[in-house]
Amino acid sequence: MRNSVHALFLRELKTRFGEYRLGYLWALLEPVLQMMVMLAIMGFLMHRVMPDISFPVFFVCGIVPYSLFSNITTRSLNAIEANRGLFSYRPVHPVDAVLARSLLECLIQGGCFTALLAGLWLLDEPMRIDNLPMLLSIWLALALLSQGLGFAFMVLGHAFKAADKILPLLLRPLYFASGVMFSLHVFPPEFRYLVDWNPLLHAFELMRHAVSPSYPLYDISLSYLWLCALVSLFIGLLLYKAREPAILRS
């Protein structure tokens, strides 16, 4: 399985970025440039008072992890169609294609996150990473949460042709409900239950606290994030195993 994932990873990397003049360097430059443009567009918000965190750091700790989640889930939808010809080889399974795509997204978004934080640090934006293992744990939990949904999306994408258009639309509201552009502190305590069920909100708030320890946490739990990640992964794998024979026969 490891060899299959590695081969599919290289194939995905070459397919997506091999034709660009800058080659594989574009894999990192593309998301970094996109995030820089978004930061420039949202610059008018920088004057807003964030709780013990600068707006650029706040924004990067929301938009980049959200991009990781969004890209893993949506790119899993057509992973089967894009690699169908390879499934005639016994060592290659549909799950390998999804894992390869997810691994590439983790590396791209992880590199983007690191580059943007390094750039903000060079610009003297206040930040302090005191607990790197916690930051990596949050990133891993978010990746596993996304992977579990990715497996489910792959199965649904195979079963229903319209899924590749419907499911991304259903994810759009999460952008506004996950704390990409707001902090949980803006909600009165009696109304936080409206959004604090969302594990993405927990991931983004924890990310902000990890790079700016003075950033306050309200009703946020790393344990809850990991619980949601493991449940998502379990359900996703269960759906995949139940549908794998039908996927391979099609």
User: How many whole angstroms from its chain centre is CA 13?
Assistant: 18
CA–CA distance, 222 with 118 (Å, rounded to integer)? 25
Measured CA distances, 191 to 76, 185, 216, 219, 221 (Å): 34, 11, 17, 12, 17
The residue extents of the domains of the chain are 2-249
Cβ burial, residue 90 (10 Å; 0-12/13-18/19+): exposed
pLDDT, tens digit, 9 for 90 and up, residues 157-206: 888 877 878 888 888 888 888 888 888 888 888 888 888 899 999 999 99
Contacting residues for 211 by C-beta, under 8 A, at least 6 apart: 57, 61, 117, 127, 128, 129, 135
> In a structure prediction context, what are the per-residue pLDDT tens digits for the chain, which is 250 residues long?
677 888 888 887 777 776 656 666 766 776 777 777 777 766 555 555 566 788 888 888 998 999 999 999 998 888 777 777 767 677 778 888 899 999 999 999 999 899 889 988 998 888 888 889 999 999 999 999 999 999 999 998 888 877 878 888 888 888 888 888 888 888 888 888 888 899 999 999 999 999 998 898 888 999 999 999 999 999 999 999 998 888 777 6
